[in-house]
Structure 1
Amino acid sequence: MQFTKRTVNLQGSHVPKLALVAVMFCTLWMSNMSVSAAPTQTECAPLDKGSAVWVTAECVDPLYNRPIIDSQSDETVPVPHHKVTGHFEGTDKKFNFYFPPKKQWQGRLFNLVYPLQDENATDVTISFGADSGAYTVQTNGGGGYRVDAAAVKFSKTVAAKYYGTSKRIYGYIYGGSGGSYQTIGAIENTSGVWDGAVPYIPGAPTAIPNNFFARAFARFVLEDKAPLIADAVSPGGSGNPYAVLNKTEQAVLLEVTKLGVPLRAWEDYSYVLGLNDADGLLGFGSTVRMIDSTYADDFWSKPGYLGTEQSALVDLFRAAKIDFSTKIGQVNRNAQNEPTSFVLENLPTQQSKFKLDYTVYNADGTKVGLLTGSLNASTKLLTLGSGNTSSALKAIETGAKLQIDNLWNLALTSYHRHQVPKQAGFSGWDQFRAADGNPLYPQRPMEIGPLIGGSVTGGESFTGKIQTKVIVVANLLDTDAYPWHADWYSAKVKQYLGERYDDNFRLWYNDNADHIENGPRTARLVQFDGIVQQALRDVSAWVEKGVVPAKSTLYNLTDNQLKVSKNASSRQGIQPVVDLTVNGGSRIDIEAGQTVTFVAKIQVPTKAGKVVRTEWDFLGTGKFKTSSFGNPNQTVGVSVKYTYTKPGTYFPSIRATSQREGDTKTPFANIQNLGRVRVVVHEPSKF
């Protein structure tokens, strides 16, 4: 799960600076609401030595025990609400509470979490909470589950005063990507703080950095064949991408597919391979270098690593290897005599698919360290970037040695082979085990994934020991947090809960959705915020009224590839299912000027809602046009004709939206899916 891939509001905070004097400007009843640990209250502490801090409704967190209210105001945008802004004294953690009017509030709160967010909730978050009878709690993240637990507990005190109630306030936490880590950390390490949770697009402890390094591995070997793979897995394609690959390429595609990269996701190979990613999907490389500093040297020198074995795959690595020494020529400096750029005497003749490292040496040949910068190959000018150490900058002189190489970045692409999890249940890594269960390749001293994951969750997590009712939402085309991650966690929960599993847990999958929020990136994807919103409403009804939610999505899992039924009643979950044909099939070849007939059948699972909207995109550009189909219904059939006048290959689609109450006007809890086919239009004279 790549945190930087999620769209988040990271703009500067509008909250007043941390100053106790701000409390003086609050109303009288708010002015004394600075809370600290009372002598008789228990301090939150781990249940066992070395485990995460266990937080209850009664204990006081020693880190976040002095919440201070900085300001309060009545707002009208995006909806009427009372905003309370504050911080935890002695920390950099801030919080905002957004209280809807008393007549609208139904006794609950929603708490969105994400490691990189600030404390300012988006308009959608605030509006959805209010529309759902909830007030919203948001912190500036980065503190695992503990800061949110402290904020939620304090918010209940403030809410009770604001609404004038002594009734129980129900709390629900939700978060996606890195926020799913925080949510899982919260529901496994607290009791009585939250009553329900919706972790969505969840990662597993193995996700970071392995998911991204494995895709970089695929990029290195398969980039040139990616368009052919995409064609095979697209609607109306052959369905067999391996047929267009040689044996080495087939092995690499199979390797990353078994690890969990959804095969159908290759239709958008640019994203799968990170072709527009500045780091080439190796953004966590600096973390690995810091923790496992000898890996690259071992990769290129020791048996068992791709850098030393004899194979066609290794030949690709050796051919791409750059390890070039040159000297620094003219050095350009600023007014403070600091180097800003310099010219190199020579450059390597070959190009690298991955970023190059620049290592500067003193004139006597002693290594100083890495430099950051951008190289202009045509002028041989290296312009220095930010973050360079003073010692490295000092070493930049005419005649000093500079090493240019891609040794680390090439080596990182197969790092996943040396991270076989010791914990059972990760079947994707079985391909790297011998018949006796031992790893085929040398293993590094530690598993990096759990270290990174634990830093995000706030401590020990992924045990499956949930303390609330949970609905997990995952997406079948997610290449950042693979679809099997949610299945893996579901199994952990089932192992813990046993017969109580169905009474406390659901897993709903979205088809035709990936990892990116706030709107689909391409015409082949749908938004998935609606199913997350409905999951929050359903988990609250489950907790507060005993309303049992829809059953988990049924699916088959083979080699970490998930497949779901084309029938809504068989698939279950709550997403509508769309079956689209063109002239009765999934593909048609026609002449320009011919008319085709599209037929779509849309089904909504039982008790999951009604179809409220259908939209057509005949050219596959993402420009959908709403089409009338009649009154909202659980099953809808539509048929339309369209004439193609220009030659080309098109992927027309119909987007269907369902809504639980059949509300055609609400912006919330709208659940989408697509049906897509292929239309190939030829020139009349060539067909």
Structure 2
Amino acid sequence: MGGALDLASYALTDSYFGAPYIDRDEHRSEPRSHRVVHGGFAGTDTRFNFYFQSEEGYRSRMFQPMEGGHAGHENIFGEGPVAKISGGLEMAFRLGGYMVESNCGHIGDDIDPRGGEDPTLYGFRAAIESARLSRHLAEQIYGAPPANGYVYGGSGGGRRSPGCLEYGAGVYTGALPYHSGGNIEPWGTTSRVRSEQPVHFGLMFNVQRLLGDRIGSVIDAMAPGGSGDPCAGLNVHQREELTNLYRLGFPRGDEFMISQPFGQIWLWTSIADMLLEDDADYFRAFWSEPGYLGHDEPQFVENDVIDVEATVARVLTARDLQENTEFADPALQALAYPSIFIAMLNQTMDLPMAIQLEGVGSGYRRGAGVYVQTGEAAGRRLYAMGESNDIFFLDGRGEANLLRATGVKAGDKVRVDNRPFLAFCYYYRHHISDDPICDFLRIDGKPIYPQHAVPLASPLMGVPYCGQYEGKLMWIHATHDSSLWPPQGLTYKRAVEQAQGLEGAQENFRIRWTENAEHTPPMMVPMQPNRSAANWLITFQGLVEQSLKDLIDWVEQGIDPASTQFTFSDGKINLPKSAGERGGIQPVIAVTANGAARIETAVGEKITLEVIAEVPPGAGTIIALEWDFDGKGTYPVKEEVTGTDARMRSMVTHAFDTAGTYFPTARVTSHRDGDCAAVTRRIENLAAARVIVS
């Protein structure tokens, strides 16, 4: 493990890259003994980290996790917060491999100046060349290159990991993308992604804007035991926009996320300037031409318009936002969380992430452009991820993303303009793709509204899917994903069927749906007023690791992995009610209170809660059954489970000592081997009933 490594004999496959170099080669003992090799390729911004575990645990496998978002880091899966929630290095070592990290050809959110806007570089070429080099070094360390290579990742990592399999023949034998999406073009494309999900986010932001406090009634209607009528009490325009949101695939039951300052706003703030440059005609026409709401029906936007000059009162770093007790209010911390998390990811807690302004006045502030007019940072264009107490949490494109409010000082002047964002709120009407999900925006095949081309995503997102590859690919998608909505999970299935035919898809592709899972783990989702995120969402990492293990068995032993059966209609994924019909590997669970989905009771009165849970055939047995009564998500009541049963029916009694609305929840965990003591590959599902206590 400790001998000198030979780089001189490495033959570059991609002539763009200069000679590889190593600038750090060291031994580490945690999580187990391994060798870390860091370096890059001369003349490029491509950087890599290789983590070679000791020979005792090595099973001739290479694992390459792909970062989400735009990528740009080569050090997030080996250590830090992302490693803790994604399995990281420990998972790769457990599964018998060494791990490769690549920054995907660029540093932070900026492009490689030499590579320019070539999406193939960022989509797969930098990652593949790094993986090829790792194989060369692995041969020196282990005596042979790895027999199999697996690439996986969520969100933006699910955007790029299929590209590695599609264009990395001989390097990878399997891929596990999850919680992602994009468009389709033939193999060999050099186009940037034309992503409709950011287009649809504009509608989600619009529903948030239009509903305001009324979002509470929508959340209540779609929660367990709710009326099921989210449009009750809304005006015509609110109904129209909310219904359109569902038609485009926003997940039912996840309406709380519409109200939250969550990561989705990043897909406005990080590309707003790109949209304004590439699609200037739309942002002009919205306010000035017939067929656009800003011109035809300005009453729906005019009261929210901001276009003023304001003054910077103070500049705040991520450390200020996290540690200063002045900002301890939970609502403000929820707004600040994306800024704090980004700073932690970049290991720069002293990066200025927000500014407090004077003189903004009334209007809708989220999404507004904050354009620095004077001072050292004059000319920088930033956008508000959120706002509270005149504090604007900022993001931007390219260099602005890296610098944020660096150089901004109290007294500097900024222009605050939200007219582009308000136009973006109706962007979905005028940028429809040929996906059938957009058919409601067409009559007899013709668009209802004036049309513009679906915008290009950042080149950092890579190229469109093609669905043509050697090896096996398993896709995982979440039914409650508010960042890449469930219909996005169908795109790659369609790509494989087009490229390989139905027979090829059956041979090489599987899809698994994860019920009650969000884009991120519950720990990263804000708490509802009466429910912790853990009370209505599951942790999905166990399902990802089990699926990665199943992918390995599929590739190396030919063991056919179970897929989830489903139907799709009206923008919604529908899963069968029984475990036998649904398949997959996640338990199926139902909960009632006194035999119903909703009951009313009195303080101190005992009620009977019943849970029925079943594990799909071949997916293991139940290893845990827990109850959470008060919405705190702590699950204090744990029933005795032997790990031998694939089906359980259980009842508990409970009395509430305070009036209110509660969602008593049962969480069931299964494990392939029935190991009640297992800490990995634990697969969860949950269900709740509504109890109104008076």
User: What TM-score, normalized to structure 1?
Assistant: 0.79
Q: What SS is found at the alignment partner of 1:470? A: strand
1:575-586 equivalent positions in 2, closer than 5 A: 575-586=586-597
**Aligned partner of 2:137: which letter?**
V
Asked if the contact 1:215/1:281 (under 8 Å) is kept, the reply is: no
* CA distance in 1 between partners of 2:226 and 2:13 (Å): 59
Asked if the contact 1:594/1:644 (under 8 Å) is kept, the reply is: yes
Q: What SS is found at the alignment partner of 2:617? A: coil
Change (3 A) 1:276 1:200: closer
Q: What SS is found at the alignment partner of 2:8? A: coil
Change (3 A) 1:320 1:549: same
Aligned pair partner of 1:570 in 562, 569, 581:
581
Equivalent residue for 1:105? Answer: 58
Equivalent residue for 1:62? Answer: 15
1:524-539 equivalent positions in 2, closer than 5 A: 524-539=536-551
Q: Work out whether 1:127 is the aligned partner of 2:120.
A: no
1:590-642 deviation per Cα after TM superposition (whole angstroms, max 9, x unaligned): 10001111111111111112111122111111112233233332112222111
How big is the shift at 1:62?
Answer: 1.3
* CA distance in 1 between partners of 2:275 and 2:253 (Å): 30
Q: Work out whether 1:500 is the aligned partner of 2:504.
A: yes
- How well do the aligned residues superpose, as a CA RMSD in angstroms? 3.6
Asked if the contact 1:533/1:669 (under 8 Å) is kept, the reply is: yes
Equivalent residue for 1:335? Answer: none
Equivalent residue for 2:466? Answer: 463
Asked if the contact 1:587/1:678 (under 8 Å) is kept, the reply is: yes
Aligned pair partner of 1:138 in 80, 93, 101:
101
Q: What SS is found at the alignment partner of 1:619? A: coil
1:98-143 deviation per Cα after TM superposition (whole angstroms, max 9, x unaligned): 2233222111111101114333523531111111112111122343
* CA distance in 2 between partners of 1:65 and 1:622 (Å): 51
1:341-392 deviation per Cα after TM superposition (whole angstroms, max 9, x unaligned): 9998xx6763324354467999xxxxx9777699xx999999999989xxxx
**Aligned partner of 2:600: which letter?**
D
How big is the shift at 1:443?
Answer: 2.0
* CA distance in 1 between partners of 2:203 and 2:656 (Å): 41
Change (3 A) 1:589 1:152: same
Aligned pair partner of 2:608 in 593, 597, 601:
597
**Aligned partner of 2:364: which letter?**
S
Q: Work out whether 1:618 is the aligned partner of 2:629.
A: yes
Moved more, 67-76 or 409-418: 67-76
Change (3 A) 1:68 1:296: same
How big is the shift at 1:402?
Answer: 8.4
* CA distance in 1 between partners of 2:47 and 2:137 (Å): 15
1:19-98 equivalent positions in 2, closer than 5 A: 29-37=3-11, 60-64=13-17, 66-98=19-51
Asked if the contact 1:230/1:269 (under 8 Å) is kept, the reply is: no
How big is the shift at 1:67?
Answer: 2.4
**Aligned partner of 1:63: which letter?**
Y
Aligned pair partner of 1:512 in 513, 516, 528:
516
Asked if the contact 2:181/2:491 (under 8 Å) is kept, the reply is: no
Moved more, 154-163 or 577-586: 154-163
Change (3 A) 1:493 1:438: same
* CA distance in 1 between partners of 2:630 and 2:466 (Å): 47
Asked if the contact 1:35/1:66 (under 8 Å) is kept, the reply is: no
Q: Work out whether 1:352 is the aligned partner of 2:367.
A: no
Asked if the contact 1:204/1:481 (under 8 Å) is kept, the reply is: no
Change (3 A) 1:316 1:419: same
Equivalent residue for 2:167? Answer: 189
User: What TM-score, normalized to structure 2?
Assistant: 0.78
Q: What SS is found at the alignment partner of 1:420? A: coil
Q: What SS is found at the alignment partner of 1:308? A: helix
Q: Work out whether 1:117 is the aligned partner of 2:67.
A: no
Change (3 A) 1:373 1:286: closer
Asked if the contact 1:72/1:84 (under 8 Å) is kept, the reply is: yes
Unaligned segments of structure 1, at least 5 residues: 1-25, 38-58, 331-340, 363-367, 389-395, 683-687
Q: What SS is found at the alignment partner of 2:57? A: coil
Equivalent residue for 2:689? Answer: 677
How big is the shift at 1:281?
Answer: 5.4
Q: Work out whether 1:487 is the aligned partner of 2:494.
A: no
Asked if the contact 1:280/1:354 (under 8 Å) is kept, the reply is: no
Equivalent residue for 2:338? Answer: none
Equivalent residue for 2:282? Answer: 295
Equivalent residue for 1:150? Answer: 129
How big is the shift at 1:261?
Answer: 0.9
Change (3 A) 1:246 1:189: same
Change (3 A) 1:371 1:106: closer
Unaligned segments of structure 2, at least 5 residues: 107-121, 184-194, 314-354, 401-408, 526-532
* CA distance in 2 between partners of 1:379 and 1:667 (Å): 43
Change (3 A) 1:196 1:65: farther
1:493-517 deviation per Cα after TM superposition (whole angstroms, max 9, x unaligned): 1222221211111100101111114
Equivalent residue for 2:317? Answer: none
- The count of aligned residue pairs is 594
Q: What SS is found at the alignment partner of 2:99? A: strand
